[in-house]
Structure 1
Amino acid sequence: MGQGQQENVATSLAGAVSEEISASLAPVDAELERRYPGDPGTRQPVHTVYVPGDVFAADTIRSWGDQALAALDEHAPDAASFAAVLGLSGELAEPVYSRVRAKLEREPIEDLRVDFEDGYGPRTDAEEDETAARAARLISEAYENGTAAPYMGIRMKCMEAPVRDRGIRTLDIFLTGLMEAGGLPDGLVLTLPKVTYPEQVTAMVRLLEAFEKAHRLDPGRIGFEIQIETSQSILAADGTASVARMIQAAEGRATGLHYGTFDYSACLGVSAAYQASDHPAADHAKAVMQVAAAGTGVRVSDGSTNVLPVGPTAKVHDAWRLHYGLTRRALARAYYQGWDMHPGHIPTRYAAVFAFYREGFEQAAARLARYANRAGGDVMDEPATAKALGGYLLRGLDCGALDIGEVARLTGLTRADLEGFAAPRRGDLTVSTK
């Protein structure tokens, strides 16, 4: 057959067949859109810092940044020494070190939670009332004067009977304080800890609905994170994955699933010496969380290490290597967020994150550029891979690991282009480039 000859196209099925199938699948189409809307496309912080309510102050964020810089000055005063501790390659040493220092000066904390749970402990009602009101005032002032972290909020007490009323009251005082100070900030984040049953998530939804109604806020304005700290939150008594039901129970308000390393480990009987975010029990829980959250728009977050980088330099270096390794391990497993418990942790948090994105930057940029230009290459990438590549570059830009100029230079793409690849329409992912 000649190249220019037109093909004869024939079909056997009547148009009504396709129409009937589409009609039969319409409920499934709607269900897919409702349950799996995809990633929201907003910035995800690389970490969450928990500060007890009574410790949180107007200068907490700047103080953490200054303490982290002081730790670098004392224990790794230059790029070469820092790289030697962490095993960074020579070509990464200076870019990572300089970006870490710049980040600590500019934006030392990306996400801060004022803690009214384990980090705060039991207090008198009067004391917790005052602390909650103070937290609202300080956070409002921080957003007003430009000293806030991109994301800030509180972790209340859980929905279990002994502390339920106290947790509800603290949340009410905090949110009411924000409203009286000018309204809820865009970066507001709430964390509901120790969730064991989906009904507790439903209770949180009803609570927020009542608050929104009382203040005439748009329905669904307030979201919250679900903290996974018990075995029941992963596997229910009937053998189903509770965490998947919790996401649905949130009715679109769930923004994240946060793994609680030490409570979860203790719940399973893991001895204290082996409670860590890379324990097999932790990996199992986080794998279930990850699968349950995939496609729902709910982000997942790793836990923390309780080994603090304090004391003599050798001890600090050991703690840094541990924290760096755990963070890199989590990033490779698509856990792009974790907890940091001490100012000394954030230099290695950012070092791990920046190294992760800078190591793979050129290859990812080249692959996405070839895909965008249909140029081919030694890897046959699919639309789903282009989505992953776009997301990788965007996360690198958001945290400061990459600059838009260098990304544009290697890809020929704008940020809007990257966002288009990272958040394609559902049907686009079914089209192969083969």
Structure 2
Amino acid sequence: MSAPASSADLVAELTADLDERLREADADLVARFPGDVPARQPVHTVYVPADAYDADLVPRWGEEATGAMAEHREVLADLLGVAAVEVLPLVEDKLAREPIEDLRIDFEDGYGNRSDDEEDGHVAAAAAALAASQAAGSAPPFTGIRFKSFEAPTRARGIRTLATFVDGLLSAGGSVEGFVVTFPKVTSVEQVEAMVHASERIEQTLGLDEGALRHEIQVETPQSILGPDGTALVARMIHAGQGRVTALHYGTYDYSAFCGIPAPYQSMEHPVADQAKLVMQAAAAGTGVRLSDGSTNILPLGSAEQVREGYELHTRLIRRSLERGYYQGWDLHPSQLPSRFAATYAFYRENYPAAAERLRNYLGKAGGNVMDEPATARTLADLVVRGLDCGALRPEEVADSTGVTAQTLTDLARPCRA
């Protein structure tokens, strides 16, 4: 090869050379780390045992949550402080309009072990009920089931529940749009590969489009975090999912128990939980896979003191998760919905004014006392978009404060490599 005649020729020659050398790496980066997805992420997932689910569950939970909020409004107002004036009316509206954002019908730990005939009956009833709620317009925007794991003792029952539920849902006129399967107690990359295989076969048999069945991996065993060779298997699990994995959900109590943490100290904020979630966060970064924290089993029920302690704990844990970039968690009882939305709304409204000002300055190149880089501007926009998605912020106030549309903010918050 002759020497280039000038630096311009050298640049052109090197660029072509590097493009060729890095062609496969470029394609691999886009495939494996495409960036976040623009779709809304729910702020919570509500788990209900399959035998307790019916088509009227969502409005019923909304009514019960509204009643709990009315009864304990002073407690919530005290915990929110000055934010209560703005936040509580928004929460009341949310509970009347959309009390559950994401619902998981549980055939696993929350349901227990039943005879095959009994579980089959609950599968059929729950599938028909979900289809009925979809037809009535009362289903949440996100739904799904959790079935038993692919470990050998429960594998046959798990796949039987998954296949027959999807079949029953479709046969009853239901849809798998917004439907996600929770894949529990994952202990190996091979189980995720098996889940992809099972999903493909179910889609082919039932006439679904390829990729219609999506799943979230429940990280509730240490084997998901640290494999036998010392590597973080959860990262490999995401990519083994071949684009079907939507989220990683931390399982508070199973994970803590596997690690030998005494029952009184099992918590979303225990050091073993933080260590696991930090690994999950790094593994999911840039993949488009979302993160969800776990749950607290301390409910705001009982005496006045117990109610206050339950709400205080729940709001504090939600705030802690949000500050650490975990925008979703689990709720187990209608009484937790007021604190879920109150704590979430307070977080977004508290941080919104500064975020809006910084975004306006950044987009308008107006300067200001904070010199934000593009990466930080993306997270500022993401905070605003999440606040809009859940109802903490109103579109008109965002447009007025930032000077741009919600779509512009979404494009800034969630760019895609592809």
Q: Same fold (TM over 0.5)?
A: yes
Instruction: Tell me the alpha carbon deviations over residues 112-132 of structure 1, each in whole angstroms, 9 at most, x when there is no partner.
Output: 100000011111111111111
CA contact (8 A) 1:143 1:185 kept: no
Aligned match of 1:114: 105
Aligned match of 2:3: none
Aligned match of 1:82: 76
**What are the equivalent positions in structure 2 for 1:162-241 lying under 5 Å apart?**
162-241=153-232
CA contact (8 A) 2:36 2:415 kept: no
CA distance in 2, matches of 1:207, 1:377: 54
Aligned match of 2:325: 334
State, as a whole percentage, how many aligned pairs show the same letter.
Answer: 54
Pick from 60, 73, 90 the counterpart of residue 63 of structure 1: 60
**What are the equivalent positions in structure 2 for 1:28-427 lying under 5 Å apart?**
28-76=25-73, 81-84=75-78, 86=79, 88-90=80-82, 92-426=83-417
CA contact (8 A) 1:140 1:185 kept: no
Q: Which amino acid aligns with 2:117?
A: A
Structure 1 unmatched runs, 5+: 1-8, 428-434
- The alignment of Structure 1 onto Structure 2 pairs a total of residues equal to 413
CA distance in 1, matches of 2:142, 2:247: 13
Instruction: Tell me the alpha carbon deviations over residues 137-183 of structure 1, each in whole angstroms, 9 at most, x when there is no partner.
Output: 11111111110011111100000111110111111110001221235
CA distance in 2, matches of 1:400, 1:132: 33
Q: Which amino acid aligns with 2:171?
A: E
Structure 2 unmatched runs, 5+: 1-5
How far the C-alpha of 1:33 sits from its partner, in A, is 0.4
User: What TM-score results when the alignment is normalised by the length of structure 1?
Assistant: 0.93
CA distance in 1, matches of 2:33, 2:275: 22
Instruction: Tell me the alpha carbon deviations over residues 355-374 of structure 1, each in whole angstroms, 9 at most, x when there is no partner.
Output: 01000111111111111111
Instruction: Tell me the alpha carbon deviations over residues 203-229 of structure 1, each in whole angstroms, 9 at most, x when there is no partner.
Output: 111001001111332211111010011
User: What TM-score results when the alignment is normalised by the length of structure 2?
Assistant: 0.96
Instruction: Tell me the alpha carbon deviations over residues 320-358 of structure 1, each in whole angstroms, 9 at most, x when there is no partner.
Output: 000100000000000000001111111111011000100
Instruction: Tell me the alpha carbon deviations over residues 267-317 of structure 1, each in whole angstroms, 9 at most, x when there is no partner.
Output: 000000000000000000000001001111110100000101111222101
SS in 1 for 2:181: strand
CA contact (8 A) 2:248 2:292 kept: yes
How far the C-alpha of 1:14 sits from its partner, in A, is 4.7
CA distance in 1, matches of 2:18, 2:255: 46
How far the C-alpha of 1:199 sits from its partner, in A, is 0.6
Q: Which has the higher contact order (CA 8 A, sep 6+)?
A: 2
SS in 1 for 2:145: strand
